[in-house]
C-alpha cells in the first residue's frame, strides 16, 4: 500500500531580506493527525517559519522561496484574496500572545461570527450557535455570556482557549500553534494541551506545535524538528530525538533542561540545568 500523501509539505523553504537570509532552506512534512514539534531557542526562526507557511510576512520586505503545499495546493505566492479563503478554514494559527489575535473594540461574538461567515454560508444565528458550541468544546463556562464580552474582559488563559476555539471551529486540516502555553499557569497549560490533543483525536487535524518547552514537546509531539540560527539541524521521531540526539545543538538543548532538586533536610526546592 502506498504511503499516505502528507497534508502539509514544506520543501526548500527559505526567507530572506535584500541583505540577509533569515531562514535557510528547510524541509519537513506533516501527515494527517500528526503533531510535529518545532523547537529551538528564541531567535532561531521558529515563528518566522510559521508565518512564512501562513503567508503573513510582508512581501515587500521579505522574500519567501521554496514550496508550501497544503493538500497538494501551493500556498507560496498565492494571491492574498485566495489565501484569505484558506486561512481559518483549511489552515489555522494560534498565536503566542492571544491579546494580539483579537480586535479590542469588538466583542468576542462579533469577531467569531465574522470569522465563521467569511468561510461558510450561514445566518448570523447559525454562526452564533457554532461559536457557542466551539467555546463549550474548550470547556469555557457560560459561552453565550462570553460571546458578549470584549477581549480585555477575559484572562490570558481564557483568551488562549477562545483562540483555540476559533482555530478548531471550522475543522482545519492543519493548525499552527505558536507557543500556545507561554505565560500560562500550570493548570491552564494543561487545559490548552488537552484541547489540542482532543482536536487532533476528534478531527484528525495535523498540528505544527512550536515551543521552547521541551517537556511540552516530549508529551505532545510525534516527531520533532530542531532549529538553530535559521537552520533546521535535526529531525527525528520524538523518542529517538530525546533518547539519542545526533546534533550537538540538540544535545545542548536537552542538557539545558531544568531539573528539580529537593534538600531532604530542609525540604527546600531548587532548580538547575541537567
The domain locations on the chain are 8-273
pLDDT digits (tens, 9 = 90+) for 19-28: 999 999 999 9
pLDDT on residue 48: 95
pLDDT on residue 183: 67
pLDDT digits (tens, 9 = 90+) for 178-231: 998 876 788 878 888 888 999 999 999 999 999 988 888 999 999 999 999 999
pLDDT at 271 over 90: no
Q: Which of 31-35, 41-45, 84-88 has the highest mean pLDDT?
A: 31-35
Residue 139 — pLDDT band, cuts 50, 70, 90? Answer: confident
pLDDT on residue 260: 45
What does pLDDT average to over the chain? 89
Q: E strands within the chain?
A: 8-16, 21-30, 35-39, 63-70, 73-74, 91-94, 174-178, 206-210, 223-228, 231-237, 258-262, 269-273
Residue 270 — pLDDT band, cuts 50, 70, 90? Answer: very low
pLDDT at 268 over 60: no
Residue 126 — pLDDT band, cuts 50, 70, 90? Answer: very high
Least confident of 40-44, 141-145, 182-186: 182-186
pLDDT at 96 over 90: no
In three state form, how does the secondary structure of 6-74 look? CCEEEEEEEEECCCCEEEEEEEEEECCCCEEEEECCCCCCHHHHHHHHCCCCCCCCCEEEEEEEECCEE
pLDDT at 56 over 70: yes
Q: Which three cell numbers stand for residue 218?
A: 516530549
The bridge status of strand 206-210 relative to strand 35-39 is parallel
pLDDT on residue 264: 54
Residue 3 — pLDDT band, cuts 50, 70, 90? Answer: low
Residue 69 — pLDDT band, cuts 50, 70, 90? Answer: very high
pLDDT on residue 108: 96
For the segment(s) 8-273, the CATH number from 3.40.718.10, 3.40.640.10, 3.40.50.300, 3.30.1540.20 is: 3.40.50.300
Q: What mean pLDDT comes out for the span 111-119?
A: 92
Residue 95 — pLDDT band, cuts 50, 70, 90? Answer: confident
pLDDT exceeding 70 applies to what percent of the chain?
Answer: 92
Contact 160, 184 (CB under 8 A): yes
Amino acid at each position: 500500500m502506498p504511503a499516505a500523501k502528507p497534508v502539509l509539505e514544506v520543501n526548500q523553504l527559505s526567507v530572506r531580506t535584500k541583505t540577509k537570509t533569515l531562514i535557510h532552506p528547510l524541509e519537513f512534512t506533516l501527515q494527517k493527525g500528526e503533531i510535529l514539534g518545532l523547537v529551538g531557542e528564541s531567535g532561531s526562526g521558529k515563528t518566522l517559519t510559521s508565518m512564512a507557511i501562513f503567508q503573513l510576512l510582508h512581501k515587500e520586505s521579505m522574500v519567501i522561496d521554496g514550496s508550501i503545499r497544503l493538500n497538494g495546493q501551493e500556498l507560496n505566492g498565492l494571491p492574498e484574496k485566495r489565501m484569505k479563503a484558506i486561512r481559518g478554514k483549511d489552515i489555522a494559527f494560534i498565536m503566542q500572545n492571544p491579546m494580539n489575535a483579537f480586535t479590542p473594540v469588538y466583542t468576542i461574538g462579533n469577531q467569531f461570527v465574522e470569522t465563521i461567515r467569511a468561510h461558510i454560508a450561514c445566518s448570523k444565528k447559525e454562526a452564533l450557535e457554532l461559536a457557542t458550541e466551539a467555546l463549550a468544546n474548550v470547556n469555557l463556562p457560560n459561552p453565550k455570556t462570553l460571546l458578549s464580552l470584549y477581549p480585555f474582559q477575559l484572562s490570558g488563559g481564557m483568551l488562549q482557549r477562545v483562540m483555540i476555539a476559533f482555530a478548531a471551529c471550522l475543522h482545519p486540516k492543519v493548525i499552527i500553534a505558536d507557543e500556545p502555553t507561554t505565560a500560562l499557569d500550570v493548570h491552564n497549560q494543561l487545559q490548552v494541551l488537552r484541547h489540542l490533543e482532543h482536536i487532533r483525536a476528534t478531527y484528525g487535524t495535523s498540528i505544527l506545535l512550536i515551543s521552547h518547552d521541551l517537556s511540552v514537546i516530549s508529551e505532545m509531539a510525534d516527531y520533532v524538528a530542531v532549529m538553530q540560527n535559521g537552520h533546521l539541524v535535526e529531525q527525528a521521531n520524538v523518542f529517538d530525538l530525546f533518547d539519542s540526539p545526533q546534533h550537538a545543538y540538540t544535545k545542548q538543548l536537552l542538557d539545558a533542561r531544568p531539573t528539580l532538586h529537593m534538600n531532604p533536610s530542609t525540604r527546600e526546592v531548587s532548580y538547575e540545568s541537567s
